[in-house]
C-alpha cells in the first residue's frame, strides 16, 4: 500500500500533507477492492489514492458531525487542531481528489462523483434519523446504503470499468459487501470494547444511532424493555445500562440475527465473484471481523 500513500502525499503541499498522518491508517477496504478487481491496470493505485482521499475527507467531517473525540484509537483531528481546520482540510482533501478524478475517463469520474453525492446525503439522513428513536428498518438500511455502501459499490464498479470487467456484477458485489460491512460495524459497537474498537463502545445509541441489532431488539422486546431501550436513546450509557443492553441483545438473539444477516449478504456478494480468490479473501477478511 506504500504506493498509494506516496500518491496521496503527492496531492498536497507539506502544510496539508501532515494531516494525512494525523489519521491512523485503517483497513483500506476500498483500495484493497480496487486493486484486487483492477489488478492488471497500472492506474489502480491512482484510483485507490483518490478514493482513500475522499474517504479521509468524509472521516474528518464525520467526526465533527458526530462529536467523536477519537478515530482509530487516536484523538480526532478536530480535537487536536480545532473544527475550523478539520473542516477546511476535509474540503481540501475532497476537492483535490475530485480534481484528480478528471484524469480518468468520464464513466469512472461519474460513478465516483455520484457516489460522493450519495455519501453526503446518507450522512444527512443519518443526522435526521438521529433526531428521534427510529425503529424503521427500511429507512435505516437506505441510510447505511447511502452513507457507507455507496462509495464501496462505486469503488468496485469504477475498478471494473478500469479493468474492462462486467460493471454490474462488481457494482452489486460492492453494494452487498458495503451493507454487510456496516452491519458488522453495528454489531461490533455492541460486542467489543473501546480498546478493540479504537473508539468508545456502545456509542451508537448515545449518538442517537438506532442500528440494526437495536431495531431488531425493539421488535423482539416486551413493552417494558422497549421503554427502557427508548429511555437510553441519546444518553450517556452507564455501566449498568451497558450490562443490561449487552445481555438483552445477546439473549433476544438480536446480535445473532444481525450477524447472520451480514453473513448472508457476504455470501451473496462472494457468489458474484466466485473463482476470484483474491476478492473472496478481501470479503473473508470481513467475515473474520464477525466474532
Q: Of 193, 200, 173, nearest to 271 (Cα)?
A: 173
Q: How far is the CB of 65 from ligand FPP (least distance, A)?
A: 6
Q: How far is the CB of 91 from ligand FPP (least distance, A)?
A: 7
Distance, CA of 55 to chain centre: 9
Residue 147 binding result from Mg ion, ligand FPP, none, given CB thresholds of 5 to 8 Å by partner type? ligand FPP
Site string for ligand FPP, 25-64 (x = CB under 6 A): -----------------------------x--xxx-xx--
For 183-220, the DSSP string reads: HHHHHHHHHS-HHHHTS-TTHHHHTT---HHHHHHHHH
Q: Residue 126: helix, strand or coil by DSSP?
A: helix
- Angle between helix 167-191 and helix 239-251 axes, rounded to 10 deg: 130
Question: CA 140, CA 118: separation in Å to the nearest integer?
Answer: 15
Q: How far is the CB of 176 from ligand FPP (least distance, A)?
A: 18
For 88-119, the DSSP string reads: HHHHHHHHHHHHHHTTS-HHHHHHHHHHHHHH
Residue 290 binding result from ligand FPP, Mg ion, none, given CB thresholds of 5 to 8 Å by partner type? none
Site string for ligand FPP, 118-157 (x = CB under 6 A): -xx--x-----------------------x----------
**By CB under 5 A, what part of segment 16-35 binds Mg ion?**
none
204 sits near Mg ion (criterion: CB under 5 A): no
Residue 220 binding result from ligand FPP, Mg ion, none, given CB thresholds of 5 to 8 Å by partner type? none
Nearer Cβ to Mg ion, position 125 or 287? Answer: 125
Which residues, 6+ apart, have CB-to-CB distance to 225 below 8 Å? Answer: 217, 248
Q: Of 90, 97, 155, nearest to 123 (Cα)?
A: 90
CB atoms within 10 A of CB 113: 15
**By CB under 6 A, what part of segment 66-125 binds ligand FPP?**
66, 68, 90, 94, 116, 119-120, 123
Which residues, 6+ apart, have CB-to-CB distance to 17 below 8 Å? Answer: 9
Site string for ligand FPP, 162-201 (x = CB under 6 A): ----------------------------------------
Nearer Cβ to ligand FPP, position 120 or 248? Answer: 120
How many chain residues bind ligand FPP (CB under 6 A)?
A: 16
Q: How far is the CB of 281 from Mg ion (least distance, A)?
A: 28
For 251-279, the DSSP string reads: HTTHHHHHHHHHHHHHHHHHHHTTT-HHH
66 sits near Mg ion (criterion: CB under 5 A): yes
Q: Categorise residue 84: left if φ over 0, alpha if ψ from -120 to 50, beta otherwise.
A: alpha
CB 147 within 8 A of CB 179: no
268 sits near ligand FPP (criterion: CB under 6 A): no
How many chain residues bind Mg ion (CB under 5 A)?
A: 2
Residue 50 binding result from ligand FPP, Mg ion, none, given CB thresholds of 5 to 8 Å by partner type? none
Interface with ligand FPP (CB under 6 A): 54, 57-59, 61-62, 65-66, 68, 90, 94, 116, 119-120, 123, 147
Interface with Mg ion (CB under 5 A): 62, 66
Amino acid at each position: 500500500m506504500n504506493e498509494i500513500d506516496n500518491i496521496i502525499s503527492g496531492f498536497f503541499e507539506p502544510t496539508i500533507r501532515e494531516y494525512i498522518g494525523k489519521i491512523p491508517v485503517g483497513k483500506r477496504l476500498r483500495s484493497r477492492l480496487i486493486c484486487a478487481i483492477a489488478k492488471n491496470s497500472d492506474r489502480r493505485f491512482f484510483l485507490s489514492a483518490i478514493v482513500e482521499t475522499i474517504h479521509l475527507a468524509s472521516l474528518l467531517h464525520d467526526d465533527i458531525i458526530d462529536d467523536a473525540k477519537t478515530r482509530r484509537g487516536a484523538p480526532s483531528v478536530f480535537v487536536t487542531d480545532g473544527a475550523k481546520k478539520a473542516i477546511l482540510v476535509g474540503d481540501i482533501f475532497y476537492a483535490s481528489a475530485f480534481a484528480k478524478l478528471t484524469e480518468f475517463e468520464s464513466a469512472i469520474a461519474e460513478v465516483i462523483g455520484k457516489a460522493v453525492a450519495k455519501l453526503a446525503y446518507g450522512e444527512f439522513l443519518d443526522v435526521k434519523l438521529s433526531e428521534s428513536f427510529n425503529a424503521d428498518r427500511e429507512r435505516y438500511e437506505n441510510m447505511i446504503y447511502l452513507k457507507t455502501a455507496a462509495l464501496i459499490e462505486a469503488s468496485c464498479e469504477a475498478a471494473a470499468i478500469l479493468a474492462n470487467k462486467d460493471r454490474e456484477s462488481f457494482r452489486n458485489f460492492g453494494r452487498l459487501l458495503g451493507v454487510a460491512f456496516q452491519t458488522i460495524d453495528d454489531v461490533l459497537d455492541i460486542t467489543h470494547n473501546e480498546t478493540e474498537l479504537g473508539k468508545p463502545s456502545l456509542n451508537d445509541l448515545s449518538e442517537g444511532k438506532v442500528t440494526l441489532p437495536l431495531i431488531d431488539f425493539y421488535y423482539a422486546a416486551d413493552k417494558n424493555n422497549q421503554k427502557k431501550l427508548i429511555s437510553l436513546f441519546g444518553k450517556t450509557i452507564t455501566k449498568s445500562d451497558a450490562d443490561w443492553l449487552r445481555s438483552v441483545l445477546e439473549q433476544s438473539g438480536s446480535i445473532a440475527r444481525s450477524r447472520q444477516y451480514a453473513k448472508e449478504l457476504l455470501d451473496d456478494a462472494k457468489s458474484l465473484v466466485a473463482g476470484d480468490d483474491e476478492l473472496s479473501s478481501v470479503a473473508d477478511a470481513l467475515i473474520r471481523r464477525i466474532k
